[in-house]
Structure 1
Amino acid sequence: MEAAIAFLIENDEVFKKLHLQYGNPFIPSRPPGFATLCQLILEQQVSIDSAKATYLKVEKLLGKVSPETIANCSEEDLKSCGVSRQKISYLKILAKAVSEELDLESLTAKSADEVRNELIKIKGIGHWTIDVYLMFSLQSPDIIPLGDIAVVNTIKELFGIHTKEEMEALSANWKPFRSMATFMLWHHYLEKRNRKPVV
């Protein structure tokens, strides 16, 4: 963590100012595995608070969120927890994949690119979900989730650039610590809105 922050504040004036203003960012962490991926599916395109409330209802209903309990749960029961029909489909597809061919435990020993290539095959798991899983659960040090609206808006605000191509070029300067750059951007985003991180 210290090496990543030192690199960013030495090489980028914006991160230097952010660190002076806020100190070290909050580093989110979640256990790797099926339940976390389910939670991330629920978080797609909704607020973190809303998704967390839905996940807790699902967890209470099932007792334990596992491939078996998701596979055996009826769509009606999942819908009663607030899960949309599309996300019910995604959870069921993930449960089937983990039961049949996807070895989630093996991902901890693989590179970020290898993890992405495996997870992207699963319908309902896109690059944002993979990016967050890599950062929160697998502690990958060099991820920049340009599908995340908070990251994109904060880059626009702080750096005055607006296209994905410009953002990709800018973030190349933050290698090999783009995950820490992301945490610092999120930290600024939340502080400006007087919000606390939800994990």
Structure 2
Amino acid sequence: MKSIVDLLIQKDSIFRQIVTLYGLPEIIPSRPEGFETLVLLILEQQVSIDSAKATYLKLRTGVGAIIPENLVGLSEETFRSYGVSRQKARYISYLATAVLEKSIDLDSLSSKSSEQIRAELIQLKGIGNWTIDVYLMFALQKPDVLPIGDVAIVNTMRELLNLETKEEMMVYAEGWAPHRTYASFLLWHYYLKKRGRTITYQY
């Protein structure tokens, strides 16, 4: 990662500022490909990582392995007993059904471009651009993704660059290509370190 950070520092002084203040991230976050990670990302939508983790662990304890066969037949009431909201329960059920009915082949995604992956995943109810961006970054290790729907990314770019709109941020970040994923990791690193927080991505 250091060689890429050096390139980013040459492109934009804000990355030198981040590294000077907080050093390099200790790890490059990653998650396994597949159904379980997408379920976890659905749970993480619009809530804190800690809250999503607690719900995920309750669900996993309750059903055993997080696989489509174990989740497709669960009632909303059962999902609710594990802390899963009604809306997210529906999204998880839709995803499980899509996998079992083979309308989506998650195993094939790693061989496709980011654009092809987005086009397939966006068809699934409850899977939006933020979920796809994070899946591309963490699970599929795509190097040039900017999750502009992420609050931490937006707030950090607003603070360090005085940019107000997401459109301005996306245009500005074109200068970080083809390493926008690593730029995003540094922005997250700044956001968390400034607040004295760390995240363990492996649950």
Q: TM-score normalised to the size of structure 2?
A: 0.96
User: How far off its partner does 1:7 sit?
Assistant: 1.1
> How far apart, CA to CA, are the structure 2 residues paired with 1:12 and 1:110?
30
Aligned 8 A contact 1:98 1:104 in 2: yes
Aligned 8 A contact 1:151 1:185 in 2: yes
Q: SS in structure 1 opposite 2:186?
A: helix
Which residue of structure 2 lines up, in the alignment, with residue 128 of structure 1?
130
Which of 100, 104, 113 matches 1:102? 104
Runs of 4 or more consecutive aligned structure 1 residues displaced over 4 Å after TM superposition: none
Query: For structure 1, which segment, 108-117 or 20-29, has the greater mean C-alpha deviation from structure 2 after superposition?
Result: 20-29
1:17-40 deviations in Å (ceiling 9; x for gaps): 111222222421110100000000
Aligned 8 A contact 1:49 1:198 in 2: no
Structure 2 residue 175 is the aligned partner of structure 1 residue 173? yes
> How far apart, CA to CA, are the structure 1 residues paired with 2:106 and 2:86?
25
> How far apart, CA to CA, are the structure 2 residues paired with 1:48 and 1:27?
17
Query: For structure 1, which segment, 73-82 or 31-40, has the greater mean C-alpha deviation from structure 2 after superposition?
Result: 73-82
1:31-57 deviations in Å (ceiling 9; x for gaps): 010000000000000111000000000
1:52-73 deviations in Å (ceiling 9; x for gaps): 0000000001110111101122
Query: How do 1:8-157 residues align onto structure 2 when only pairs under 5 Å count?
Result: 8-25=8-25, 26-100=27-101, 101-157=103-159
> How far apart, CA to CA, are the structure 1 residues paired with 2:139 and 2:161?
28
1:54-97 deviations in Å (ceiling 9; x for gaps): 00000001110111101122221111011011000000000011
> How far apart, CA to CA, are the structure 2 residues paired with 1:84 and 1:18?
37
Q: Percent identity?
A: 54
> How far apart, CA to CA, are the structure 1 residues paired with 2:61 and 2:12?
45
Query: For structure 1, which segment, 3-12 or 36-45, has the greater mean C-alpha deviation from structure 2 after superposition?
Result: 3-12
Which residue of structure 2 lines up, in the alignment, with residue 160 of structure 1?
162
> How far apart, CA to CA, are the structure 2 residues paired with 1:196 and 1:19?
16
User: How far off its partner does 1:197 sit?
Assistant: 1.6
Q: SS in structure 2 opposite 1:139?
A: coil
Aligned 8 A contact 1:154 1:189 in 2: yes
User: How far off its partner does 1:16 sit?
Assistant: 1.2
Query: For structure 1, which segment, 36-45 or 12-21, has the greater mean C-alpha deviation from structure 2 after superposition?
Result: 12-21
Aligned 8 A contact 1:135 1:141 in 2: yes
1:137-196 deviations in Å (ceiling 9; x for gaps): 000000000100000000000001111111011100000000000000000000010001
> How far apart, CA to CA, are the structure 2 residues paired with 1:159 and 1:131?
22
The one-letter code matched in structure 1 to 2:199 is P
User: How far off its partner does 1:115 sit?
Assistant: 0.6
Unaligned runs of 5+ in 1: none
Q: CA RMSD in A?
A: 0.9
Provide the aligned length of Structure 1 versus Structure 2: 199
Q: TM-score normalised to the size of structure 1?
A: 0.97
